[in-house]
Amino acid sequence: MQRGGKARRRWLGALILMLAMPVAMADEVVGSLGAVGSDTLAGLMLRWGEQLTDRHPGIRLQLQASGSASAPPALVAGTTRLGPMSRAMSDTERRDFIERHGYPPVEIEVARDALVVIVHRHNPLTQLSLAELDGIFSATRRCGGGHAITRWRELGIERPRGRLALHGRNAASGTYGLFRQRALCNGDYRARLDEHPGSAAVVAAVAASPRAIGYAGRNHLTAGVRALPLVDAEGRAVRPDPERVRQGDYPLSRTLYLYLNLPPGEALPGPERAFVELILSPEGQETVVELGFVALPQATLERQRRRLGLHETP
Amino acid sequence: MSDPSPSLHLRQRLRRGRDHLATALITAGGIGVIAALLAIGVFLVVEVVPLFWSTPTDTGHEVSWRALWLPQSYEGYDAPQHRWQPTVTSAEERPQYGMTPLVWGTLKAAAWALVIAVPLALGAAIHSAMFMSRRLRSRIKPTLELMEALPGVVIGFIAGLVLAPWVERHLAGALALVVLLPPGVLIAGWGWTRLPVRLRRCLPLGWAGLWLVPWLLLLVAAALGLAPWLEAGWFGGDLRGWLELRLGLDYASRNAMIVGLAMGFAVMPSVYALAEDALSGVPGSLGEGAQAMGATRWQTLWKVVLPAASPGVFSAVMIGAGRAVGETMIVLMASGNTALMTLSPFDGMRSMAASIAIELPEAAFGGTHYRLLLLAALALFVFTFLVNTLAEVVRARLRHRYRRLGGAP
């Protein structure tokens, strides 16, 4: 009799708890957020996800980071509502989305970043012009690279001797596409370019070989490699410093985006709203800097908050 | 004659029922596997066929069988090229779908893996089946078979991030090792036959696997120690420059040699295990008969045992080839994924399996790129299916032959 009474009391307790739960969490946002897209943004998205769970314990973020190119198909197919991308959507991708859903995706700038051209830390090269960059990486040289550059001697340095060993990203990544667009003017990559499945792998490969040159996201820089200043159109050598990247002076600056599937006229659903609020908040932008990216200018943050109807947050 | 007791009768019927159930389950499982295999094949074919049937909507360019395999002229190049660049960044561009480099890369990677794995694995199998002491063999064989349990990702990771940079920094030493080790082992064998009988008894052939180890370590140390002097003396202190100038070979840090070493390491255990089983399965009466008639151990091996076991050895190599062609992660991480078509062991390559792993997540579902990757998958499927079937058929015939030989008086 004793045991039965105890069990009944426990049941009763659980029942009360279950009844009380919705009351306690009525003003809490609950739900799970799924995101598919850029692996450049993976670390940032995960950190934002953690902060979001700290703010709203009911929300969980699930991330699948297989490259920017995987975001549009997932958004079009409706398997996700959030698509982080390290480049803007192409016209074809946007058209596919509109064809399927009847309205364009909502585009939110979340941070700035830059692609850096890296060499081994002992490499004496001081700077690189955009024409030289084209001559090094491109097979078709549409960006002003007059002739192919295959040896370090042709860049005016004695050591390292021999050929340049090229390292870059695989075709799924936004980094690959953006570098091709900006540095190669949509030309073809040299066939002799090692394609790595991650920016960290590119950096590791360049750090291991004095003859290597490669490109990667700025946030992946390590002590083993050196980012080269690039000479812009006016002939100034520009370093990938935060200020230069924020203003877009550095030639390979880029903006990182988050795409949302949101029918026009509808308000953001709770979890998404909380997430975007966090990203555009000072706390969210601090995380951006912590992870090696560059925070958005204040004006851009304000403008986007207004556009999304988030102006009540500080 | 009394009836069996009802409980016994019931038990018998129960047992028979269980037997039926087990048989049915096993049959269903077998049919299920075959059905799944067929379904995969049918799925791949169905996905690939529209490629040649209709004009794809996503690019507007028809893909012809010729365009996939023959060099094409692209804007900005002087001569027709084999190029694989399936993604485009602007609308006016044409994606480049040359599949030949991928097939080439797959075969090249597999060939280098087999070049390294087959001699080592077969040599090890012959030694452990014919000469090795029983005690040592009982330790070594399970250890080698345990190697097979190493995941490809781990091997690929070590090859790409540890081995490749090390070889690049110590190229002369690594090449010296490749050149020095095989003759070094042969010299050890020759020296052994010259030893006085008393000494030779201290170093029995069956334990060669152990007493060769210090000799091999000595060779490795010698190769690595001598390499800088060799490089300075013969190659002007810059072996890479010399290779490029004299032989026109460009050294890429992730190359066919690295892939061959890593994938050879991955393929070796299964080739070894199958070949060893085939060799040690040769009925003992055959070898004993040959030796009784005065054949030496070498003659017995070469003229009697190897021919008897040759189908098994062949199928072991086939299984190894099948695994090497389908292996993904090692090539992905250690080859640099450059879609080149060269013979040089110092160039990288891009295999079909690695391309599928890298590109399928980004390919638009139902697009040309997607279907081409599935075409590559279909090719891999057909190839490994044929190779494994062939190996299995040959092995079945071998088992039959052994049974006949073993049963002979």
Question: Which residue has tokens 């000072």?
Answer: A282
Residue B307 lies in a domain: yes
Beta bridge partners of A37: A65
CB within 8 Å of A94: residues ≥ 6 apart = A104, A105
pLDDT tens column, B357-404: 888 877 777 788 888 999 999 999 999 999 989 988 988 888 888 777
- Full residue range of the structural domain in which residue B44 is found: 6-48
Instruction: Examine the domain organization and report whether B104 and B14 are in the same domain.
Output: no
First CA to last CA across chain B, in angstroms?
A: 48
Instruction: Provide the mean pLDDT of chain A.
Output: 85
Q: Is residue B76 part of a domain?
A: no
Residue B73 inside a domain? The answer is no
Residue B195 has pLDDT above 50, yes or no: yes
Is residue B338 domain-shared with residue B213, that is, in the same domain? yes
Task: Give the percent of chain B with pLDDT over 90.
Answer: 35
CA distance A72 to B216: 56
* B250/B316: higher pLDDT: B316
> Are B215 and B344 members of one domain?
yes
Contact B332 A197 (CB under 8 A): yes
Helix orientation angle between B208-234 and B171-194, rounded to the nearest 10 degrees: 130
Contact A193, A166 (CB under 8 A): yes
Q: Quick one: average pLDDT of B351-358?
A: 91
Q: In angstroms, what separates the C-alpha of A15 from chain B's closest C-alpha?
A: 44
Note whether B34 and B150 are same-domain residues.
no
Domain contains B92: no
CATH class of A30-112+254-307: alpha beta
Is A113-253 in the same CATH topology as A30-112+254-307? yes
Within this chain, do residues B43 and B179 fall inside the same structural domain, yes or no?
A: no
Cis peptide before A160 (omega within 30 of 0): yes
Q: Residue B55 contacts by C-beta under 8 Å, 6 or more apart in sequence?
A: B62
Clarify whether residues B38 and B125 are in a common domain: no
Give the residue extent of every domain in chain A.
30-112+254-307, 113-253
B156: distance to nearest CA of chain A, Å?
Answer: 13
Residues B106 and B174 in one domain: yes
Write out pLDDT tens, residues B64-105.
Answer: 778 788 888 887 788 888 888 887 777 667 788 888 999 999
Q: Is residue B355 part of a domain?
A: yes
Beta-carbon neighbour count of residue A91 at 10 Å? 10
Helix (H) / strand (E) containing B404: helix B368-407
Q: Which residue did the predictor score with more confidence, A314 or B53?
A: B53
Q: Does any CB of chain B come closer than 8 Å to the CB of residue A107?
A: no
Name the residue in chain B with its Cα closest to that of A176: B89
Q: Is the pLDDT of residue A40 over 90?
A: no
- Give the pLDDT confidence score for residue B409 in this predicted structure: 33
Instruction: Identify the sign of the CA torsion B284, B285, B289, B292.
Output: positive
Q: Report whether pLDDT(A145) > 60.
A: yes
- Cβ distance A188 to B76 under 8 Å? yes
Q: Is A163 on the interface with B (CB under 8 A)?
A: yes
Report the half-sphere exposure of B94 (CA within 13 A, side-chain side): 14
The SS3 assignment for A230 reads strand
CATH architecture of A113-253: 3-Layer(aba) Sandwich (3.40)
Question: What is the nearest CA distance from B107 to chain A, expressed in angstroms?
Answer: 18
Confidence band of B286 (pLDDT split at 50, 70, 90): confident
| Residue B400 within any structural domain of the chain | yes
Residue B30 shares a structural domain with residue B177: no
Kindly report, residue by residue over A190-236, the tens digit of the pLDDT.
888 999 888 888 999 999 888 899 999 888 899 999 999 999 878 88
Closest Cβ opposite residue A194 in set B85, B89, B336:
B336
Claim to verify: residue B167 and residue B270 sit in the same structural domain:
yes
Question: In whole angstroms, what is the distance from residue B350 CA to residue B108 CA?
Answer: 9
Q: How confident is the model at residue A5 (pLDDT cuts 50, 70, 90)?
A: low
Say yes or no: B43 and B111 in one domain. Answer: no
| Integer Cα distance of B388 and A88 in angstroms | 46
Pull the structure tokens for residue A49: 């996800």
- Mean pLDDT value of segment B332-359: 89
Measured in whole angstroms, how far is the alpha carbon of residue A296 from the centre of its chain? 13
Closest-CA residue of chain A to B366: A73
For residues A178-188, give the mean pLDDT.
88
A269 to chain B, any CB pair closer than 8 A? The answer is no
**pLDDT score recorded for residue A25:** 46
Residue B407's pLDDT band, with cuts at 50, 70 and 90, is very low
CATH code of residue B376 = 1.10.3720.10
CB contact under 8 A, A161 and B241: yes
CB-facing half-sphere around the CA of B108: CA atoms within 13 A: 29
Asked if residue B380 is part of any domain, the answer here is: yes
- Read off the amino acid at residue B123: G
Question: Is the sign of the CA dihedral A181, A185, A187, A190 positive or negative?
Answer: negative
Provide, as residue numbers in chain B, all residues whose Cβ is less than 8 Å from the Cβ of A172.
87, 358-359, 361-362
Q: How far apart are CA B296 and CA A184, in angstroms?
A: 68
**Rounded Cα–Cα distance for residues B337 and A175 (Å):** 17
Q: What does the block give as tokens for A218?
A: 């700025």
**With contact defined as beta carbons under 8 Å apart, do A168 and A179 qualify?**
yes
**In chain A, residues 181-200 whose CB comes closer than 8 Å to chain B:** 181, 186-189, 191-197
Binary contact (A170, B161; C-beta < 8 A) = no
Give the span between the Cα atoms of A84 and A64, in whole angstroms: 10
> In total, how many domains does chain B have?
2
Q: Which residues of B touch A180 (CB under 8 A)?
A: 89
Give a yes or no: residue B74 inside a domain.
no
What number is the ipTM of this complex?
0.77
Residue to mutate among A188, A222, A225, with most B CBs inside 10 A, is: A188
Say how far apart CA A180 and CA A132 lie, in whole Å: 14
CB contact under 8 Å between B339 and A191, yes or no, is yes
For the residues A254-261, what does the mean pLDDT come to? 92
Confidence at A1, pLDDT banded by 50, 70, 90: very low
Q: Which residues of B touch A194 (CB under 8 A)?
A: 252-254, 336-338, 348
Query: What's the mean pLDDT in B255-261?
Result: 93
pLDDT of residue A14 exceeding 60, the answer is: no
Q: Pick the closest to residue A166 from A126, A116, A102, A119 (CA basis).
A: A119
A34 and chain B in contact, CB less than 8 A: no
Contacts of B358 in chain A (CB under 8 A): 170-172, 195, 197
Q: Is B156 on the interface with A (CB under 8 A)?
A: no
Q: How far apart are CA A162 and CA B45, in angstroms?
A: 47
Share the mean pLDDT of chain B: 86
Q: Which of B40, B66, B55, B205 lies closest to B136, judged by CA? A: B205
Which residues are CB-contacts of A205 (< 8 A; sequence separation ≥ 6)? Answer: A167, A194, A196, A212, A214, B165, B253, B254
